[in-house]
Chain A
Amino acid sequence: MRLANISKSFGATRAVDDVSLELHAGEIVGLVGENGAGKTTLMRIVAGELEPDRGTVLAPAPIGFVHQHFVLVNAFTIAENLALVGATASEIELPDESRLVADLSIGEKAKLELMKAISRKPSLLILDEPTSVLTPAEAAELFAVMRRLAANGTIVVFISHKIPEVLEVATRVVVMRGGKIVAEGGTAEEIVREASGVRRPRRRSDSAGMAGAPRITAIVGVAGNGQAELAAKLRREAKGVVAAIPEDRTRDGLIAEMTIAENLALRTSVPAEQLIANYNIKASGPNQKAGSLSGGNQQKVLLARELSINPNVIVASEPTRGLDAEATRFVHDRLRDAAARGAEVYLITSDLDEAFTLGDTIQVIYRGRLSQPLSPEEAAEQAPRLMAGL
């Protein structure tokens, strides 16, 4: 596969800027970079979903593309969704294919997307943030599949923020920043530095239990264990102003057809310019359509709106999914601020690290049941076991 001098702009934003790249059969390429670095745009150009403004694309066919946002028919069963794309039996399996997609967990939907993509026996497989919704075990399963495909000559491109993961599975790492390829390979430290463009080592955020974060309850569990129902229940039973960060961003998040300003004004009266500046949202201005923002920036808009209404209760489902390190830390800080102001914060996450980073109290959800509230120390010992239902 060969890309030569690819450029693509959306309005005033140059999403991809003169990128040339050559990939070879059997490679597993980790494509890393912060939100809005142009990774997804570049891959959509490769897949023929977007026309580049300039440059040439030489790509093999067929191409399998697993999007960050799912493209499934909710009213169809698993089997029907597979039949729709002519998918046959695959090496990955989901139990009970007569279940409706609408009833599947996010993790299961991700798996179904992967089944669809693989069944076409692609010469090029592109995975956009596939592990952000997967449990560690599911991710390991995915990596095994990736390695097997690569061994059979498929080019696998793996877009991710999780650098340790990328280093684990990729045979080659490509770093993007501001629409350009800025580096190839390197250690985790170097990659992070190149991706952010900041020449300083990153510190880990302070861990939980510190003063200033008095009331954050982290609810941790493997995706599909009743988190959605729990979030709905918490929202319903909460008193006062409730802020909600939905798990399914495409469906429940921003309104793609409306501008950033309009999406904000749905709930908040804080001026859009101010929130765009405060939340470091990369946009051409308040009148940019929300749908044309990168996933991470959409999440920032959503957070900006929900946190600016001075909520009494915050129910945040996977608030940092798909965000880069900088944005993740930013979101964590905002949630701590809100808790410090007296808001009751429920963080529902499948990321145990995130639960430890933020939660004063940690509860594990498994098959719709919540464990006893645990202190971080207790959780460190018990949570992995409880998450597995043992």
Chain B
Amino acid sequence: MTRAIVAVAAALALVALAGWLFGHSPIDLLTILLGGSLDETILKAIPLLLTGLTIAVAFRAGVWNIGGEGQFIAGALAAFVAARFGLAAALAASVIAGAAWASIASLLRWWRNAPEVLTTILLNFIAINVLGWCVNGPLQESSARYPQTDAVSIALPQIGDVHAGVVLAAAVAVVAWWLLYHTREGLRLRATGFNPAAAKFAGVNVEAQIFRAMAVSGGCAGLAGGIELLGVTHRLFERFAAGYGYSGIAVALLAQLHPLGTVVSAFFFGALATGAGELQRSANISATVATLIQAVVIFTMILFGRRERA
């Protein structure tokens, strides 16, 4: 907890300092950065929450799923294809596709001991390029002008100015927390992450835990992609994933891999992304400042993590 606050403070201080060096008022800068609209913040926080859970679940089981980006795209593509069968089918398809895409990495790990850090990243590139091919080819809009699809015929219902994905994402966070900390399977999954040899000795089927964790993890990312399509963009285009899969790493690390902490941390990064856009419009400061803060947060969390060594 202290660590998370220090990380956030360090990141914001650095941004304020950098802004000040370039002649901006640090106070104004931070006000704009953190004062974006609440609705937009929530909209941005929804995919971040789900990709944050993607990372939290996998890392807790000791598998390094860096493939949130690819699983996000796989989920969105599946939701687009399944949209004709209705909303529930589209969402279910997104979960299944994300889980399946992630499971390629766990299969490769099981079959050939291929490190999932590499395979999940490589699968990201494959997913990005498959999406690129789809929106330029078979799924391109009927007018064939831009590399994008037609708008999907269905959408998530609105709750006020945000879509119903917010309820789904929050529910997933609570369920993930409950599963990880209040069920025997969750205990086994965490044991696998901490010490697979000891977990095996305690009768845990470590292989099965890793498969399951990876599938659940990928399912979260896939759902994020489906919700983004059905709630926000309504169509697919080349840069659809927009880095949500990778930002999930910062979200999860700031939350110290705790599912409920992820809710807070996703909200923070959502606010940051919103504010960064505002900063670009009003102060002409590049929106990459949000990415910069993410990076500083990750560095701080890692630097001040695990100080005690066994």
**Chain A interface (Cβ < 8 Å from any Cβ of B):** 244, 246, 251-258, 262-263, 265-267, 291, 305
- Report B166 CB to chain A, min CB distance, Å: 32
Q: Contact between A244 and B201 (Cβ–Cβ < 8 Å)? A: yes
16 chain-A/chain-B pairs, Cβ below 8 angstroms: A251-B197, A252-B197, A252-B198, A252-B200, A252-B201, A254-B198, A256-B195, A256-B310, A257-B194, A257-B195, A258-B190, A266-B187, A266-B199, A266-B203, A266-B204, A267-B202
- Beyond known contacts A252-B197, A266-B187: 4 more, CB 8 A cutoff: A244-B201, A255-B198, A258-B190, A266-B202
Cβ of B112 within 8 Å of any chain A Cβ, yes or no, is no
Q: Contact between A255 and B204 (Cβ–Cβ < 8 Å)? A: no
When distances are taken between beta carbons in the complex, the residues of chain A under 8 Å from B197 are 251-252
Q: Which of B187-218 contact A (CB under 8 A)?
A: 187-188, 190-191, 194-195, 197-204
When distances are taken between beta carbons in the complex, the residues of chain B under 8 Å from A253 are 198, 201
Q: Contact between B202 and A262 (Cβ–Cβ < 8 Å)? A: no
When distances are taken between beta carbons in the complex, the residues of chain B under 8 Å from A256 are 194-195, 310
Q: Contact between B187 and A265 (Cβ–Cβ < 8 Å)? A: yes
Q: A267 to B273: give the CA distance in the assembly, Å.
A: 44
- Report B226 CB to chain A, min CB distance, Å: 34
Q: Contact between B203 and A255 (Cβ–Cβ < 8 Å)? A: no
When distances are taken between beta carbons in the complex, the residues of chain B under 8 Å from A265 are 184, 187
Number of residue pairs A-B, CB distance < 8 angstroms:
43
- Closest A residue, CB atoms, query B184: A265
Q: A266 to B310: give the CA distance in the assembly, Å.
A: 22
Question: Max chain B CB contacts within 10 Å: which of A255, A256, A257?
Answer: A255
When distances are taken between beta carbons in the complex, the residues of chain B under 8 Å from A257 are 194-195
- Report B198 CB to chain A, min CB distance, Å: 5
| In the complex with contacts A253-B201, A256-B310, A262-B195 CB distance below 8 A | no
Interface size class of B (residues with CB under 8 A): 10 to 19
9 nearest A-B pairs in the assembled complex, by CB-CB distance: A266-B202, A252-B201, A257-B194, A255-B195, A255-B194, A251-B197, A252-B197, A255-B198, A246-B201
**Chain B interface (Cβ < 8 Å from any Cβ of A):** 184, 187-188, 190-191, 194-195, 197-204, 310
When distances are taken between beta carbons in the complex, the residues of chain B under 8 Å from A254 are 198
- Report B205 CB to chain A, min CB distance, Å: 12
When distances are taken between beta carbons in the complex, the residues of chain A under 8 Å from B188 are 266
Question: Max chain A CB contacts within 10 Å: which of B187, B199, B201?
Answer: B201
- Report A75 CB to chain B, min CB distance, Å: 14
Q: A256 to B197: give the CA distance in the assembly, Å.
A: 12
Q: Contact between A251 and B184 (Cβ–Cβ < 8 Å)? A: no
When distances are taken between beta carbons in the complex, the residues of chain A under 8 Å from B194 are 255-258
Q: A315 to B6: give the CA distance in the assembly, Å.
A: 48
Q: A252 to B195: give the CA distance in the assembly, Å.
A: 8
Q: A246 to B201: give the CA distance in the assembly, Å.
A: 8
When distances are taken between beta carbons in the complex, the residues of chain B under 8 Å from A255 are 191, 194-195, 198-199
When distances are taken between beta carbons in the complex, the residues of chain A under 8 Å from B203 are 266-267
When distances are taken between beta carbons in the complex, the residues of chain B under 8 Å from A291 are 310
- Report A316 CB to chain B, min CB distance, Å: 12
Q: A231 to B197: give the CA distance in the assembly, Å.
A: 15
Q: A256 to B202: give the CA distance in the assembly, Å.
A: 14
Q: Contact between B310 and A258 (Cβ–Cβ < 8 Å)? A: no
Q: A385 to B204: give the CA distance in the assembly, Å.
A: 40
When distances are taken between beta carbons in the complex, the residues of chain B under 8 Å from A266 are 187-188, 191, 199, 202-204
- Report A19 CB to chain B, min CB distance, Å: 23
- Closest A residue, CB atoms, query B181: A262
Q: Contact between B202 and A251 (Cβ–Cβ < 8 Å)? A: no
- Closest B residue, CB atoms, query A306: B202
| In the complex with contacts A256-B310, A267-B203, A291-B310, A251-B198 CB distance below 8 A | yes
- Report A246 CB to chain B, min CB distance, Å: 5
When distances are taken between beta carbons in the complex, the residues of chain A under 8 Å from B201 are 244, 246, 252-253
- Report B222 CB to chain A, min CB distance, Å: 30
Q: A27 to B203: give the CA distance in the assembly, Å.
A: 47
- Closest B residue, CB atoms, query A69: B310
- Closest A residue, CB atoms, query B308: A291
- Closest A residue, CB atoms, query B188: A266
- Report B6 CB to chain A, min CB distance, Å: 21
Q: A251 to B203: give the CA distance in the assembly, Å.
A: 15
When distances are taken between beta carbons in the complex, the residues of chain B under 8 Å from A267 are 202-203
- Closest A residue, CB atoms, query B190: A258
- Closest A residue, CB atoms, query B309: A49
